[in-house]
Chains A and B, each alone.
Chain A
């Protein structure tokens, strides 16, 4: 059976745990085994957060280092913080968004700097914020990225679109998912 490891990173409060719920509920609708390891408590407060999503024939909760098939950064530099989970084939999905750490006299790494580091590796850059605004709620960036992931085939053979539609709670989220998906289709057709 196929196995997919997706590491999703960002900043506490960006809806990363919700994104994990969307995936795990959709997987469950399909009867696909899923494990999502989450970050809670102190680690969550505005700090760096990640979730490990494992789908398919899985027993343990964490993605091995060098074992991620996809690394998603809801904030660009957070994808890099998890670089050790990548291998040569890892696909990066980077949100065009940079959030400054809440520390005095500290600059956030900008999106260009992030891209320069993963240059030459398979990656997509997505302006999830503008698509989320288009969907009617800037908080639906997570659904945009999820739709995009779906569009580039991250869940192929595991989860169908209609199961995501069922697992997404609001109309705004479903719109955002669709916008992300369309963006992926555009890119894939261009390639």
Chain B
């Protein structure tokens, strides 16, 4: 140990990071995604002698950790639940080869889809890939159990998935922390008969994998716990345990109910389960989302010839995150106790969806894109993608007709054109393009897709906290030219007049040449730029005499800092304005003005 243990109030994700550091992690990689991002960020900040990186995507992150673990290192890959889909090709096969050191995959799931396109339950990957899944129930157990995940992986020489979720990752609580353990590095070992998955090796590995799986079934037993006495059993997996514990304590029911705490939903502890159902009349499985534990429980009981009534998804919905009401309702119903569903008050409040920030270059890009497309009189389909710019779906822009998964804009644009002959616009961010848009771009070039590809290059992965993007080393325009795109233009989205003309010209070129064009709207994320500049900012204001109250600035451009007054004229709220001046060219009457000078380094912060 490098230092003493201490008590700190931190996020669940930080607890996971510190737990990995206390386990001797030597290589940690990921791709940012809510609710996972703080794990790698924390290891980057706090880890000494640990190699960390933001990889191009989750597949590269997992492969990097996997390669390190092949060499005997302790490695971690971190991603959000849908990122595991991207990495899944490597994940499933890594279970065949096993590893030499320790390999922990952190999957941060997002039940209720607070910041995601779906709420898939990644514990299924454990069943699919024969990879054990460890699931904490609160931030403190996340710290304790991530260490167990490294130990298990090291003992059985097999990857382990650590599945957290929003209400663990983004919950702040006091955690008892130990110091960092010296990172356990690898040393070059070659074992091609194991790591080259040619069919002959793969078949042998499959046998080895299943042998390890038998060992894993034994090893996971001790990670779960049977608590209390009673004639009824509640089986609670992951965060469900925290809910069940408080609800039973509050109802003074802890002496009437046995609780089986499941921290390894895949595979569940068979022996402990069988021991826990001795003298039990009925059992209830409480778990978030899918019936992963429930189905395994039922299958084991069936195999054992045990006839026991087991409730699960009948009482606990398979959608949305667990809440106190949901768990209380299920537990009380199961115990035959009265549970009054209270009617909660609700008030009609104007919706407040998330919005692009003041000075967000995406707002200018959407404004000029619409203008340019209109100038070219093109009827189009806006094929969107994943990032802050997905917010372009909201009015007044309405410029995301689809946005499904990372990098999907190009492939979907292709399908739209092939089936309708409508020339589409594909809108993708810089980080998303490098993540998984490049094959779609290559495809567009090779198959001659008439498409206007607009890359919203804001220099960072903005949504998740402005992690630096690959564009700092590789500019989009060079990639596009290198991949054979003949028409490539770069412009500053704050220059709305030029930008809209670029869009118009590009659209006309596509109509004529039936090939893809790439437009790069390059300007840094406002949050990133503003953080870099010091000193007094100029003041942007509305000249009331010139303002006609047309509403373009507040209804069509919709910067949060521009407020309509009761006389319909615009007013700029200094407390929200960042002085970027993006709104100035949107006013046809030149009523928005700026006074004062930009501080040193202003342009550099925004444009480099």
- Chain A residues near B (Cβ < 8 Å): 11-13, 20-21, 24-25, 27-28, 33-48, 57-67, 77-78, 80-81, 83-86, 100-109, 117, 138
B172, A21: Cβ atoms closer than 8 Å: yes
B354, A45: Cβ atoms closer than 8 Å: yes
B35, A35: Cβ atoms closer than 8 Å: no
The residue of chain A having its C-beta at the shortest distance from the C-beta of B169 within the complex is: A40
Any A CB within 8 A of the CB of B464: yes
Cβ-defined partner of A65 (8 Å) among B139, B344, B357, B556? B344
| Residues of A contacting B2 in the complex (Cβ-Cβ under 8 angstroms) | none
Measured CB to CB, the closest approach of chain B to A37, in angstroms, equals 5
A83, B346: Cβ atoms closer than 8 Å: yes
Contact digits for B305-330, partner A, Cβ 8 Å, 1 yes 0 no: 00000000000000000011100100
Complex CA distance for A45 and B358, rounded to whole angstroms: 10
Any A CB within 8 A of the CB of B420: no
Cβ-defined partner of B464 (8 Å) among A35, A41, A65, A101? A41
Q: Pick from B68-76, B146-154, B390-398 the stretch touching chain A.
A: B390-398
| Residues of A contacting B354 in the complex (Cβ-Cβ under 8 angstroms) | 12, 42-47
Known: A65-B323, A80-B347, A103-B558. 19 other contacts (CB 8 A): A20-B172, A27-B174, A33-B173, A40-B115, A41-B115, A42-B115, A42-B388, A45-B463, A47-B353, A58-B246, A60-B324, A61-B171, A66-B342, A77-B350, A81-B349, A103-B353, A103-B394, A103-B395, A104-B396
B355, A36: Cβ atoms closer than 8 Å: no
| Residues of B contacting A43 in the complex (Cβ-Cβ under 8 angstroms) | 114-115, 354
Any A CB within 8 A of the CB of B560: yes
Any A CB within 8 A of the CB of B130: no
User: Could you write out 14 A-B pairs with CB less than 8 Å apart?
Assistant: A12-B354, A20-B172, A28-B8, A47-B355, A59-B138, A59-B242, A59-B243, A60-B242, A61-B242, A65-B344, A67-B324, A81-B349, A104-B556, A108-B350
Any A CB within 8 A of the CB of B448: no
Any A CB within 8 A of the CB of B207: no
Secondary structure type dominating chain A contacts = loop
Complex CA distance for A105 and B556, rounded to whole angstroms: 10
Measured CB to CB, the closest approach of chain A to B320, in angstroms, equals 12
B325, A40: Cβ atoms closer than 8 Å: no
Residue among B171, B242, B355, B388 with the most chain A CB within 10 A? Answer: B171
Any A CB within 8 A of the CB of B356: yes
B347, A81: Cβ atoms closer than 8 Å: yes
A46, B357: Cβ atoms closer than 8 Å: yes
Measured CB to CB, the closest approach of chain A to B593, in angstroms, equals 22
A35, B395: Cβ atoms closer than 8 Å: no
Cβ-defined partner of B170 (8 Å) among A39, A46, A66, A80? A39
| Residues of B contacting A78 in the complex (Cβ-Cβ under 8 angstroms) | 349, 352
The residue of chain B having its C-beta at the shortest distance from the C-beta of A11 within the complex is: B352
Complex CA distance for A109 and B349, rounded to whole angstroms: 7
| Size category, B interface | 35 or more
Complex CA distance for A42 and B82, rounded to whole angstroms: 15
Measured CB to CB, the closest approach of chain B to A7, in angstroms, equals 13
Cβ-defined partner of A41 (8 Å) among B246, B325, B463? B463
Complex CA distance for A34 and B126, rounded to whole angstroms: 32
Complex CA distance for A61 and B396, rounded to whole angstroms: 36
The residue of chain A having its C-beta at the shortest distance from the C-beta of B397 within the complex is: A104
- Chain B residues near A (Cβ < 8 Å): 7-9, 11, 34-35, 37, 114-115, 138-139, 167-168, 170-174, 239, 242-243, 245-246, 249, 323-325, 328, 342, 344-347, 349-357, 388, 390-391, 394-396, 463-464, 554-556, 558, 560, 563, 575
| Residues of B contacting A104 in the complex (Cβ-Cβ under 8 angstroms) | 395-396, 554-556, 558
B352, A48: Cβ atoms closer than 8 Å: yes
Complex CA distance for A62 and B111, rounded to whole angstroms: 14
The residue of chain B having its C-beta at the shortest distance from the C-beta of A100 within the complex is: B563
| Residues of B contacting A64 in the complex (Cβ-Cβ under 8 angstroms) | 323-325, 328
Cβ-defined partner of B347 (8 Å) among A67, A83, A100? A83
Given contacts A104-B558, A108-B350, contact A35 B171 (CB under 8 A): yes
Complex CA distance for A109 and B355, rounded to whole angstroms: 18
B115, A36: Cβ atoms closer than 8 Å: no
A34, B355: Cβ atoms closer than 8 Å: no
Measured CB to CB, the closest approach of chain A to B540, in angstroms, equals 17
Complex CA distance for A44 and B239, rounded to whole angstroms: 23
| Residues of B contacting A101 in the complex (Cβ-Cβ under 8 angstroms) | 350-353, 355
| Residues of A contacting B35 in the complex (Cβ-Cβ under 8 angstroms) | 40-41
| Residues of A contacting B7 in the complex (Cβ-Cβ under 8 angstroms) | 28
Measured CB to CB, the closest approach of chain B to A70, in angstroms, equals 16
Measured CB to CB, the closest approach of chain B to A180, in angstroms, equals 19
Given contacts A41-B34, A81-B349, A105-B555, contact A46 B356 (CB under 8 A): yes
Measured CB to CB, the closest approach of chain B to A58, in angstroms, equals 7
The residue of chain A having its C-beta at the shortest distance from the C-beta of B110 within the complex is: A41
Residue among A35, A40, A41 with the most chain B CB within 10 A? Answer: A41
Complex CA distance for A37 and B167, rounded to whole angstroms: 7
**What 10 pairs across the A-B complex have the smallest Cβ distances?**
A41-B34, A41-B115, A47-B354, A102-B355, A64-B324, A84-B344, A45-B354, A46-B355, A104-B555, A59-B246
B323, A62: Cβ atoms closer than 8 Å: yes
The residue of chain A having its C-beta at the shortest distance from the C-beta of B557 within the complex is: A104
Residue among B345, B350, B352, B353 with the most chain A CB within 10 A? Answer: B352
The residue of chain B having its C-beta at the shortest distance from the C-beta of A58 within the complex is: B246
A28, B174: Cβ atoms closer than 8 Å: yes
| Residues of B contacting A13 in the complex (Cβ-Cβ under 8 angstroms) | 357
| Residues of B contacting A24 in the complex (Cβ-Cβ under 8 angstroms) | 9, 172-174
Cβ-defined partner of A86 (8 Å) among B34, B139, B345, B395? B345
